Amino acid sequence: MKVGLFIPCYVNQLYPKVGIATLELLEKLGVEVDYPIGQTCCGQPLGNSGYEDESKGTCQLFIENFKKYDYIVCPSGSCVYHVKKHFDILEQTEDVINVRNNIYELSQFIFQVLKKANLGASFPYKVGIHKSCHGLRGLRLGSCSERMDVPYSIEENLLKEVKGIQLKTLNRVDECCGFGGTFSVFEEAISVKMGKDRIQDHLNSDVEVITGTDQSCLMHLEGLINRNNQPLKVMHIAEILNSTL
Amino acid sequence: MPHAKEAELFNNDEAKVNWHDQALWFVRNKRDKAAHTVKGWEELRNLASAIKANVLSNLDDYLIQFEENAQKNGIHIHWAADAEAHNKIIHDILLKNNVKMVVKSKSMLTEECHLNPYLEAHGIEVIDTDLGERIVQLAKEPPSHIVLPAIHKTKEEVDVLFQKHLGTIPSNGDPQYLTNEARKHLRDKFLKADAAITGVNFAIAETGGFVVCTNEGNADMGVHLAKVHIASMGIEKIIPQEKHLGVFLRLLARSATGQPITTYSSHFNKPTEGKEMHIIIVDNGRTEQLGREHFRSSLNCIRCGACMNTCPIYRRSGGHSYKATIPGPIGSILSPGMDLKKHGSLPFASTLCGSCSDVCPVKINIHEQLYQWRQIITKDVKQPIVKKTVLKIAGRVLANSKLYGFFGKSARFMLKHLPKSVINSQTNTWGKARDLPKVENENFEDWYKKRKS
């Protein structure tokens, strides 16, 4: 099994530690991982802003970079969702179809493909999960509060096996944080208010560390937390699952 | 004014935003509890969605069937191509019956057609009889929500409004007192009205009858007392058979307010002897929407308002920020079809979180349609030049590994070395309330290359 590691553009540039944790974690689990040099982005910022047509070159480059792998793994539910959902703008060649079928969000890959839950991590802190929307309602990494399905959560399945962790339950278990890509800038007032409200829910629930599968949402929350000097840390789920504290 | 500006204004009063958010979240929570009591809720949604798909695929046949059966029962059927035709037909009926005052139960279609100002301009008094609608009518405002029209008003604000218009005494917003006073005020109007206008929740092709759902019984009160009943319906309100009500009535009230069923589900099949019953079947842009493949299923909507209650943006920006008859997520996919330029900012008033699509009882893929509208709007409506340029350049950079590497490096260099006061200045919208991430010396790719060598 050959796995291509897709590190989203903003994670590559701004959060290399999340990429490193992802790579180390996969290697720890015995996966042969390769990071294709020269990869860029899935094209989502363009598509979500209404410029899908301008993103075709980006999407095509993505296919070229990842077509040779059995699986593509990425520490972002949102980017994976974009490839699965919106790469219909490309001609559906065998390569495109394969990439779209074989791309997985990190926790989903670990739980569904590797079929592992206990990864030997330890992390003795009180943790609140931010269930990012594209992972939750796009990839169905868990049941969402709107639907009357049998409850489940891939993130919780993995995190509850982490030694010493205390998972906290929020008042609103899966409300959006307000990041929303360019929404965070073009609808700044609402974006900030949504983020503040999410953070308050974590604070009210006695959380020390907010985690999730999408660093973009976490970047937005972290930006607010740091500006307002709030007693919370933000960590990507890969960092916790790779932790031996 | 675009939605973002309106939303910013609404957010100047954070306490009010919190109150508005919590009031609607309470309704969303009630809905969750109610939906949990129904075994096979998701199956019910599938069924409702499938019935609506069938209706939309055979709409012409069902409408003709409905007309024939309604006429057999002695109901007058009128067809209106647009809002103007709708208003004129109603005005003509009222003129013929020498009507001076009309009571109206809640109908978003008559709001869409701006019926009230039309009739008032022609010297006819219109009284909205749904309590929430009456409140906003007295305040000279449009409804801010399709099920809870006055949800943006506190009970204290209603108190002041009633003192002015109904002559009530100050009660510190006592809901019991205010409701009783509204009841007395409306009762007088019901008794004096010459005609009653209602909406239509479901029109049954098989029988030619229709169902109107209210919680206050105001539709029945109006219809039973007046000699003329006029019901306005959009062409998409059709369901094939009476038995399908068992699907829709169970979904509607639970989705809307968390009730098992609306307090009144009133079935109208024919006029009482000596009275008249009219139905206006209105298109007003619906056929055009039906012809848009990506947006067709927006016509599934049964106007429950659940997408508004669940929408984190709606809850924090208020219904009026949408400047559309139907606000919130569903309004943001319906309104651009009516006037793309005017409503061009609405599909962007969303994080595409998808909560609306999952809460929708008729499974409209609302957030996917928002995405689709965005693709159209950037082509057909003039966009801010900065946004357009930045994204077009981004498209080229991200399609080219070398360019991307260069841009990434430069951006990190600037973030690292520019003073914080510049980075978080007012020209950087992100930085108004949020810090930017701390930048490392190398990106992941640099680290990876080093590690490999």
Helix (H, G, I), strand (E, B) or coil at B393: helix
How close does chain A come to B58, measured CA to CA in Å? 29
Q: Is A232 on the interface with B (CB under 8 A)?
A: no
In this complex, how many residue pairs, one in chain A and one in chain B, have their CB atoms less than 8 Å apart?
A: 207
How close does chain A come to B52, measured CA to CA in Å? 20
Helix (H, G, I), strand (E, B) or coil at B104: strand
Question: pLDDT at residue B424 above 80?
Answer: no
Q: Is A190 on the interface with B (CB under 8 A)?
A: yes
Whole-angstrom distance, CA of residue A143 vs CA of residue B41:
14
Continuous segment of H or E residues that includes residue B76? strand B76-80
pLDDT in tens, B37-63: 999 999 999 999 999 999 999 999 999
Are A146 and B11 inside 8 Å of each other by CB?
no
Residues in B closer than 8 angstroms to A19, CB to CB, are 444, 447-448
Q: Which parts of chain A register pLDDT below 70?
A: none
Facing B358 at nearest CB: one of A7, A137, A226: A137
pLDDT of residue A165: 98
pLDDT in tens, A180-195: 999 999 999 999 999 9
Whole-angstrom distance, CA of residue B261 vs CA of residue B18:
29
Closest residue on chain B to A179 (Cα): B351
pLDDT in tens, B320-334: 999 999 999 999 999
Q: pTM score, two decimals?
A: 0.97
pLDDT of residue B410: 81
Are B371 and A48 inside 8 Å of each other by CB?
yes
Residues 6+ apart with CB under 8 A from B336: B343, B344, B346, B347, B373, B376, B377
How close does chain A come to B250, measured CA to CA in Å? 15
pLDDT of residue B204: 98
pLDDT in tens, B284-320: 999 999 999 999 999 999 999 999 999 999 999 999 9
Residues of chain B with CATH 3.40.50.10420: 38-284
The ranges assigned to domains in chain A are: 2-113, 126-241
Residues in A closer than 8 angstroms to B348, CB to CB, are 50, 183, 186-187
The count of residues in chain A is 245
Give me chain A's average pLDDT, please: 97
pLDDT of residue B288: 97
Residues in A closer than 8 angstroms to B42, CB to CB, are 147-149
If one compares B428 and B136, the residue with the highest pLDDT of the two is B136
| Topology (CATH) of A126-241 | Rossmann fold (3.40.50)
Q: Is A193 on the interface with B (CB under 8 A)?
A: yes
Question: pLDDT at residue B389 above 90?
Answer: no
Q: Are A68 and A95 in contact (CB under 8 A)?
A: no
Closest residue on chain B to A36 (Cα): B445
Selected for mutation to probe chain B from A14, A88, A185 (highest B CB count within 10 Å) is A14
**Strand bridging mode B195-198 / B125-128:** unpaired
Residues 117-176 of A with CB under 8 A from B: 133-134, 137-138, 144-149, 172, 175-176
Are B21 and A226 inside 8 Å of each other by CB?
no
Structure tokens belonging to residue A222: 């972290």
Residues in B closer than 8 angstroms to A52, CB to CB, are 375
Whole-angstrom distance, CA of residue A206 vs CA of residue A197:
15
Residues 6+ apart with CB under 8 A from B114: B83, B87
Residues in A closer than 8 angstroms to B22, CB to CB, are none
Show the 3-state SS of A3-57: EEECCCHHHHHHCHHHHHHHHHHHHHCCCEEECCCCCCCCCHHHHHCCCHHHHHH
Residues 6+ apart with CB under 8 A from A1: A31, A32, A70, A71
pLDDT of residue B425: 66
Facing B444 at nearest CB: one of A20, A187, A220: A20
Closest residue on chain A to B383 (Cα): A50
Whole-angstrom distance, CA of residue B136 vs CA of residue B149:
7
Are B350 and A193 inside 8 Å of each other by CB?
no
Amino acid at the residue B360: C
| Topology (CATH) of B38-284 | Rossmann fold (3.40.50)
Question: pLDDT at residue B253 above 80?
Answer: yes
Residues in B closer than 8 angstroms to A144, CB to CB, are 355, 358
Residues in B closer than 8 angstroms to A11, CB to CB, are 444
Model confidence at B426, pLDDT cuts 50, 70, 90, reads: low
Residues in B closer than 8 angstroms to A64, CB to CB, are none
Residues 6+ apart with CB under 8 A from A132: A77, A78, A177, A212, A213, A214, A216, A217
Question: pLDDT at residue B427 above 80?
Answer: no
Helix (H, G, I), strand (E, B) or coil at A128: strand
Whole-angstrom distance, CA of residue B397 vs CA of residue A226:
30
- Alpha helices of B82-232 — where are they, by DSSP H? 83-96, 108-112, 115-121, 131-138, 155-166, 175-192, 218-225
Whole-angstrom distance, CA of residue A233 vs CA of residue A226:
9
